[in-house]
Amino acid sequence: MQPSPHPGTPTERLRLRDIRNTSTFRLTLLLGLVALAGVVMLTVLVYLLSARELTARSNRILRAEAAQLMTNPVSSLPAAVRVAMSRNNGGGFDYYGLLDANHRRIAGTLSGSSGFEIDQPRDLPAKPGAHGPIRELAVRLPTGEILLVGHDITPIVDLRRRVMIVLVASAFTIALMVVASAIALSLAPLRRVGQLQRIAHEIAAGHLERRMPTIGRGDELDLLAGTVNTMVDEVGRVIGQVKSVTDAIAHDLRTPLTRLRAHLDRARKQEDIDPDTAERLDLAMADLDTVLERFTALLRISEIEAGSRRAGFAEVPLDPLLRSLVELYQPLAEDRGMAIDLHLHPGLVVQGDRNLLVEAISNLIDNAIKFAPEGGRIVVSVSRADNGLAIEVRDNGPGIAPDQRQSVLRRFDRGSASAQIPGSGLGLSVVVAVVHLHQFALALDDAAPGLIVRIFAPDQPGAPIQP
pLDDT score recorded for residue 10: 40
Cα→Cα distances 420→39, 297, 417, Å: 77, 21, 8
pLDDT in tens, 376-433: 888 899 888 777 888 899 888 887 777 777 767 766 555 555 545 555 556 677 788 7
pLDDT score recorded for residue 362: 86
In this prediction the pTM is 0.47
Of the ranges 34-43, 129-138, 304-313, the best mean pLDDT one: 34-43
Cα→Cα distances 140→56, 71, 98, 117, Å: 21, 13, 10, 10
pLDDT score recorded for residue 261: 78
pLDDT score recorded for residue 422: 53
pLDDT score recorded for residue 89: 57
pLDDT score recorded for residue 460: 55
pLDDT score recorded for residue 429: 77
Which domains are present in the chain? Answer: 1-202 (no CATH), 220-305 (1.10.287.130), 310-458 (3.30.565.10)
| Dist CA 279 CA 271 (whole Å) | 14
- Tell which wins on pLDDT, 415 or 142: 142
The answer, yes or no, to whether residue 94 has pLDDT greater than 80, is: no
Share of the chain above pLDDT 90, in %: 0
pLDDT, mean of residues 72-94: 75
The answer, yes or no, to whether residue 8 has pLDDT greater than 60, is: no
pLDDT, mean of residues 59-79: 86
The answer, yes or no, to whether residue 88 has pLDDT greater than 60, is: yes
pLDDT in tens, 107-130: 887 776 667 788 888 888 877 665
pLDDT, mean of residues 16-44: 79
pLDDT, mean of residues 369-381: 84
